[in-house]
Chains A and B, each alone.
Chain A
Amino acid sequence: MELLSGADMVVRSLADEGVEYIYGYPGGALLHVYDALFRQDKVTHILVRHEQAATHMADGYARATGKPGVVLVTSGPGATNTITGIATAYMDSIPMVILSGQVPSDFIGTDMFQETDMIGVSRPIVKHSFLVKKAEDIPETIRKAFYLAQTGRPGPVVVDLPKDITNINDKYEYKYPEKVKIRSYNPPQKGHTGQTRKAVELLLKARRPVIYSGGGVILGHASEQLTRLAKKLNMPVTNTLMGLGAYPGSDRQFLGMPGMHGSYAANLAMHHSDLILAVGARFDDRVTNSTEKFCPSAKIIHIDIDPASISKTVTADVPIVGPVAPVLEEMNRMVEDSGRLPDQDALGNWWKQIDDWRESRGGLFGYDRGNGETIKPQQVIETLYEVTRDSDPFITSDVGQHQMFAAQYFRFDKPNRWINSGGLGTMGFGFPAAMGVKLSFPDSPVACVTGEGSIQMNIQELSTCLQYDLGVKIINLNNQALGMVRQWQDMQYNSRYSHSYMESLPDFVKLVESYGHVGIRVERPEELRPALERAFALKDRLVFLDVNVDPGEHVYPMHIKDGSMRDMWLSKTERT
């Protein structure tokens, strides 16, 4: 049996787990582990400039690859700087393992230098956490952390490592466990056949059905099964913000995203439907609007791996607890075996109604293209889509108007290509997330759609990109204001712009140039496409496109507060 120190066991366990990259920042409590990292070449460590960015990089990697992202940070401030990133991953159920240094065991609780109760601080935002007491426990604890992070409903897991147990001079027998069992943790492996049969019966009887699919379809690798079922039954599909790409965005049956900034067609279809098939979606407040007025004539089938998500805000008529892929597979089989299809006349009328809704708004997200003098933010996303669509791009975003425009106008045809902080809404997420994606997909175009507010929340990572040659493209929709905040101030506070404007913005072009990257300023509509084409032609370079967009633009449709799904503002002057 091999003898290893605690620090070497940490790093070897990661290698044996198949971890390619870890993102982190060294410090006192972790120096043993960093020494062990130095003496091996299986796991590649990426040095960030702020620990929050390490968590978002790991998160971006996890969302793009489906594998857990791994973060390594020191105790105290290193650990607390990860909190926003952990909460981001928790809200979106992203698998992540965070290894944090801790003061030596005997000093825990003494307010030692750089001590924080990381287990306590992170408790409400982790799936689980471990404080490792003995070096011998390191391999099994790390194995458990990875097992928990990526099974069932995925989520972040913290492993807190007191400095004394990683001492490089004390050696122990090392064996990485092949399997771990946690007696109190048994995530469902399949759905209940009887419930699934009931659901299929409802699907075959539906006259105005809608499939409402969420992030769970992407996390549960069920995009193919969902698409097959939707095609077979010719049902309209709406993907939530977290679920974009699970059903092809350019397909005729796709209605766009539902919810607060969802399409007119998707929101009306949901509202008037007689059956909603909810798959891996959680009836979030940003989708449902008032739950009391939610879809009054719809029966609801709800498939989710987490029983706590079912009937949490909206009661399900047919709940199915289980992983979405096998449940949808069984549904497909049952539909095939039945040899039946829904009432074709009813479905034909339903589609005609939906097409009318779609056409009445000039497509899923029609907008006023203006006089051609200013660049519309919507137009930036449309052009980005046209320029990159044939090269299988990854698009990340920050949070605000630009995020909604990206979700509305970019047509994602594959899962794992759209990466944004949906649940927590973390500004500063998009750029490091894009870096995490680019490391693992060096040959694919990776763009971060951002705004001048969000980008400044993690702009220090321009330095990391220089160090590791990360050629991400940053598309900055610069409207010199916190656009979404200002939109609400316009709509609800008589345009009193309390702290929503950005004075003293840096010269972004000069800023990125100072880091050795390429900056391009885009001021006129006709400059947009050539600038985007040039940015993506510079394959290996980080290119920052600072695009001056129309500062007066709002995101529409927008749900009217406390209304039903069909109650929307459609422009500054029109409402349903």
Chain B
Amino acid sequence: MRRIISVLVENEPGALSRIVGLFSQRNYNIETLTVAPTEDATLSRLTITTAGKPQVIEQITKQLNKLIDVVKLVDLTEGTHVERELMLIKVRASGAMRAEVKRSADIFRGQIVDVTSSVYTIQLTGTSDKLDAFIEAIGAASVLEVVRSGVTGMARGEKVLSL
């Protein structure tokens, strides 16, 4: 089962390697990982998407919590949450294709952020599924390059992950 785990860690050198190391050392899988400092300069926030049986997910959260650099964590998928991923996608756009790509981008509420005579670079945000669907809609043959930020998210409503 797919899970999104949000982690607040000390913004210290080595903290990220301890977390990534834990996953490989214990044979857990990481699908996406994002990390950046928060409004509190002493903290970084990581979002990890992973998949596994409930017992494995329980071990992942417990083992993460054991790391001294980990201040707090929450499994976002345990409750309602908002999740987003950002994608930049470079697409072949010449001739008749040009209008078609523009139309698809509009349907998916993407923005064209760079243009040449034969290429559009489109920025798209949404759930990972939506990004997958866009790639499919465009057709693999037209896609020149894709970069995705990985999933980030937070719980809905009053619930916050902070100190």
Measured CB to CB, the residues of A under 8 A from B are 119-120, 123-124, 127-129, 131, 148, 182-185, 306-308, 311-312
Contact = CB atoms under 8 A, between A and B. Distances in A.
Contacts of B75: none
B148 interface: no
B38 interface: no
Contact of B10 (A124, A184, A307): A184
A124 B25 CA distance: 7
A128 B14 CA distance: 11
A312 B21 CA distance: 19
Q: Which of A127, A148, A307 has the most C-beta atoms of chain B within 10 angstroms of its own C-beta?
A: A307
Interface in B56-101: 58-59, 62-63, 65-66, 68-72
6 contacts: A123-B18, A123-B21, A131-B13, A184-B10, A185-B68, A311-B55
B117 interface: no
B63 A308 contact: yes
B21 A124 contact: yes
A308 B68 contact: no
A148 B55 contact: no
Nearest to A144: B68
Given A307-B62, A308-B63, A312-B59, A128 B17 contact: no
Interface centre among A119, A127, A308, A311 (most CB of B within 10 A): A308
Nearest to A306: B66
Q: What band does the interface of chain B fall in when counting residues whose beta carbon is under 8 Å from A?
A: 20 to 34
Interface of B: 10, 13-14, 17-18, 21, 25, 55, 58-59, 62-63, 65-66, 68-72, 163
B71 A308 contact: no
Given A120-B17, A127-B68, A184-B71, 7 more contacts: A129-B14, A184-B10, A185-B68, A306-B66, A308-B66, A311-B55, A311-B58
Q: Name, among B10, B18, B66, B70, the residue most crowded by chain A CB atoms within 10 Å (CB to CB).
A: B66
Nearest to A123: B21
B23 to A, nearest CB: 11
A249 to B, nearest CB: 32
B143 to A, nearest CB: 37
Contacts of A129: 14
A63 B11 CA distance: 35
A308 B25 contact: no
A127 B69 CA distance: 11
5 smallest CB-CB distances across A and B, nearest first, come from: A308-B62, A184-B71, A128-B68, A124-B25, A307-B62
Contacts of B18: 123
A279 to B, nearest CB: 19
A500 B25 CA distance: 30
A44 to B, nearest CB: 30
A312 B10 CA distance: 27
Contact of A183 (B17, B25, B58, B71): B71
B65 A307 contact: yes
Contacts of B68: 127-128, 148, 182, 184-185
A306 B65 CA distance: 10
Nearest to A125: B25
A183 B68 CA distance: 9
A209 B65 CA distance: 33
A185 B25 CA distance: 22
Nearest to A127: B68
A226 B53 CA distance: 35
Nearest to A130: B14
Contacts of A312: 59
B66 to A, nearest CB: 6
Nearest to B62: A308
A120 B63 CA distance: 18
A134 to B, nearest CB: 13
B71 A119 contact: no
Nearest to B60: A308
A308 B163 CA distance: 22
B55 A184 contact: no
B13 A308 contact: no
Contacts of A119: 14
Given A124-B25, A184-B68, A307-B65, A131 B14 contact: yes
A356 B59 CA distance: 40
A80 B10 CA distance: 27
Contacts of B163: 183
A449 B65 CA distance: 39
Nearest to A183: B71
B163 to A, nearest CB: 8
Nearest to B26: A124
Nearest to A128: B68
A491 to B, nearest CB: 29
A131 B15 CA distance: 12
Contacts of A148: 68
B28 to A, nearest CB: 13
Most buried by A among B25, B55, B62, B69: B62
A128 B69 CA distance: 9
Contacts of A311: 55, 58
Nearest to A309: B62
A308 B59 contact: yes
A312 B26 CA distance: 12
B10 to A, nearest CB: 6
Contacts of B72: 184
B99 to A, nearest CB: 52
Nearest to A120: B17
Contacts of B70: 184
A119 to B, nearest CB: 6
A131 B17 CA distance: 14
Nearest to B63: A308
B27 to A, nearest CB: 12
A45 B144 CA distance: 64
Nearest to A119: B14
Contact of B69 (A131, A184, A307, A308): A184
Nearest to A124: B25
A137 to B, nearest CB: 12
Nearest to A308: B62
A128 B18 CA distance: 9
Contacts of B10: 184
Contacts of A123: 17-18, 21
Contacts of B66: 306, 308
